[in-house]
Amino acid sequence: MITMSRFDPILASKALWQIRIKKRPFVLSHAVNAKCNMRCKFCEYWRKESGKEPTRDEIFRLLDDAKEFGIGVYNAWTTEPLLRKDLPLIMAHAKKLGLITSMVTNGKLLYDRVEELENVDYLSVSVDGTESYKEIRRMDFETLLKGLKKAIEVRKLQKQKNPILMNCVLTGINLDDIETLILLAEKLGVKVSFEPVHEFPGINKEIWEEIGIRDKDKFRNTVDRIIEMKEHGYPIINSKTYLRLVRDEKMDYKCRASGIIINVTHDGTAETCRVHQEPLGNVMKDGFEKVWKDSAQKRKEIVENCEGCLFFGYTENSLMQSFNPEVLMHYEWM
Ligand code: SF4
């Protein structure tokens, strides 16, 4: 879970023990809440937001059980974690248990709340372009930038070890912004990641016609430019191996994601990954141990029948667990 450039032998051995020997996931990716404050065109989460939020005690119990199960990294995301007032207490609880903490935010509340995120080790902010940002995210880029700049300052004062990550989803409408975004990351002293938009079937066809990647030549040229800028030392966290798969729209890697990351929705439903949302069981009711054991066959079948995806967290971590040397050297995130 950690690259050779920032190799932490203790964490790496814990991850290997859990993933390879115990054959259990090391990362818990948790929908800590059920609501979002944005309406991004390509996202399916806000469209189906519903249901009761888990209480703080339920989340504390979930984290205690996750720790017992061998989870080493807690990632709070989907839909928008900062909508939870008690998020800092949840992150503090995870840290107290010895977990590495990570969070993905859309950035809308970053300006107001970043001081409270001292127990977040890895902070990712979704930044899909500059000029095209508003069209995609339906919020002014300046509002986001104000929060981002404040977050950079605050985290410096907090002496956080890891730089902020701007994560960018490549779509058909932000390809002209990508170079500017990389230059911005360099200027701000943050990292940037890329992944192609995943065309979830729950979103209507007209939206995909508008924002899906249709001009393939332009897309390939853009990804080539990202690779070139990576080679010139710009702060792009993706490996070149992954970026080449993205450029060529190839999914020919062995997916190990379900053995590394467990996805849990706000109501406790465990899922193989973001794409395959068939319930594997409920960890809030039955605990990680039982859900994991009982779902072995189902997980195996889902992965065997999967056509693949190119979410960077899944692909890069799968490549790392396959000991791909270039990825081990150059992928720079969790
Ligand atoms: S390759 Fe398939 S099983 Fe693996 S993470 Fe992607 S969608 Fe899920």
Give the per-residue SS3 of 252-264.
CCCCCHHHCEEEE
Each residue of 91-141: pLDDT tens digit? Answer: 999 999 999 999 999 999 999 999 999 999 999 999 998 998 888 887 889
Decide: 295 and 284 in contact? Cβ < 8 Å. Answer: no
Distance 83 CA to ligand 1 centre (A): 28
Across the beta sheet with 27-31, what order do the strands follow?
191-196, 165-170, 122-126, 100-105, 73-77, 27-31, 261-264, 269-271, 281-282
pLDDT for 40 equals 78
pLDDT for 4 equals 44
Distance 186 CA to ligand 1 centre (A): 31
Each residue of 165-177: pLDDT tens digit? Answer: 999 999 999 999 9
Distance 320 CA to ligand 1 centre (A): 15
Decide: 122 and 162 in contact? Cβ < 8 Å. Answer: yes
pLDDT for 49 equals 60
pLDDT for 6 equals 60
| Average pLDDT value for the chain | 92
Each residue of 180-196: pLDDT tens digit? Answer: 999 999 999 999 999 99
Closest ligand 1 atom, CA of 314?
5
Distance 253 CA to ligand 1 centre (A): 10
Q: Of all protein residues, whose CA lies closest to atom 3 belonging to ligand 1? A: 303
Each residue of 85-94: pLDDT tens digit? Answer: 999 999 999 9
Each residue of 255-313: pLDDT tens digit? Answer: 999 999 999 999 999 999 989 989 999 999 999 999 999 999 999 999 999 999 999 99
Phi/psi of residue 192, nearest 5 degrees: -140, 145
Beta bridge partners of residue 48, listed in sequence order: none
With a CB cutoff of 8 Å and minimum separation 6, the contacts of 227 are 240, 243, 244, 247
| pLDDT interval class at 160 (50, 70, 90) | very high
- Say if residue 324's pLDDT is above 60: yes
Q: What global pTM score does this model have?
A: 0.93
Residues in the chain: 334
CATH architecture type of domain 4-330: Alpha-Beta Barrel (3.20)
Distance 257 CA to ligand 1 centre (A): 7
| Bond from prior residue into 79 cis (ω within 30 degrees of 0) | yes
Q: For a ligand 1 pocket test, name from 261, 271, 273 the mutation site with the most ligand atoms within 8 angstroms of its C-beta.
A: 273
Q: Of all protein residues, whose CA lies closest to atom 4 belonging to ligand 1? A: 255
Using a 10 angstrom Cβ sphere, with 0-12 exposed, 13-18 middle and 19 or more buried, the burial of residue 15 is buried
Task: Give residues (CB < 6 A) around ligand 1.
Answer: 255, 257-258, 272-273, 275-276, 303, 306, 308-309, 314
Q: Of all protein residues, whose CA lies closest to atom 2 belonging to ligand 1? A: 308
pLDDT for 126 equals 94
Percent of the chain scored above 70 by pLDDT?
97
Distance 125 CA to ligand 1 centre (A): 23
- When mean pLDDT is compared across 34-38, 243-247, 286-290, the lowest value belongs to 34-38
Torsion of CA 240, 144, 262, 330, to 10 degrees: 20
Whole-number Å distance between alpha carbons of 274 and 257 = 10
Distance 167 CA to ligand 1 centre (A): 19
Q: Of all protein residues, whose CA lies closest to atom 1 belonging to ligand 1? A: 308
Q: What angle do CA 186, 189, 190 make, to 5 degrees?
A: 90
Q: Of all protein residues, whose CA lies closest to atom 6 belonging to ligand 1? A: 309
Closest ligand 1 atom, CA of 274?
8
Distance 282 CA to ligand 1 centre (A): 20
pLDDT for 135 equals 83
